[in-house]
A = this chain, B = another copy of it.
Amino acid sequence: MTKFDEATRAIRVDDQTYDVCLDNGFSIGGPLNGGYLMAAMLRAVVDESPHEHPVSTSAQFLRVARPGAARVRVERIKTGRTAAVSRATLIQEGQAVVEALVTTATLDPDAVPVWSDGPSARMPEPDECVRLPDPKPESGLTLNHQIELRFDPPTVGWLKGEPTGRPEMRAYFRLAEPQDPDPYVLALAVDAMPPVVFSAGMRGWAPTVELTWHLRALPAPGWLTVIGSGRLISDGWFDEEVEVWDSAGRLVAQSRQLARLGRG
């Protein structure tokens, strides 16, 4: 079992309750990463569902989650032949920290798209892409040790004080420990990059309020390509869209989150 699979494991307590042990390896400076929390919740939802894949997840991030024991409460609110819908709540110290609505269904691994758009931006070759410098231990950015990101250079120009001036972030993504991508890895991938607004010249903690992502196909082994962008920064709010393409060139996940601008 890889560290990621272990860290997202959901152990069934009863029909509606799962225990999870939130791992301090997925922290972004104290709080745990939202994609990681979704992955753990989705393991519980899928275990409880008659279907195999989390095709649609809408999560509201209510409070900051910390490493340690937590529970996932799963309540099935519809069971259909094609799809089921569950309400899932991540609970820590008696408080709901993430609330999600999840549609599960069973995707066909051999599905051939009827119609597909291409990626919304072109990526340079991997060897022209760049890593971010290792975070300082005191930053608490332990997530960076679990994942490998190779960025399209202009989208991390903000690190040298040269933001592109528009919300964007693009990278190749994989887990640091070798593991083929699956729907849970995609849950992590849609929320793994720095906020797109850093590229528009902003900084600071940018808490996700709502994140919805759809699993569109089962990913092929290999690097994922993660393309992030935004449309509007206004009134303290911004949107961040992420599309994830697999190594076979298929769109495997789409997300949009609404987040607050940092005050940092």
A251-B231 in contact (CB<8A)? yes
* A13 contacts partner chain B, Cβ-Cβ < 8 Å: no
Rounded to whole angstroms, the CA-CA distance of A214 and B251 in the bound complex is: 23
Chain A residues packing against B (C-beta within 8 Å):
55-56, 58, 60, 62-63, 77-78, 82-83, 85, 87, 96, 99-101, 103, 107-108, 111-117, 165-167, 200, 202, 209-210, 212, 214, 216-217, 230-237, 239, 243, 251, 254, 256, 258, 260-261
What are 20 residue pairs bridging A and B, where the CB atoms are less than 8 Å apart in the complex? A55-B258, A56-B258, A58-B58, A60-B78, A62-B85, A63-B78, A82-B236, A82-B260, A83-B209, A87-B99, A101-B101, A107-B235, A114-B202, A114-B234, A115-B165, A115-B200, A210-B214, A212-B212, A214-B239, A254-B256
Rounded to whole angstroms, the CA-CA distance of A103 and B100 in the bound complex is: 13
A58-B232 in contact (CB<8A)? no
A232-B256 in contact (CB<8A)? no
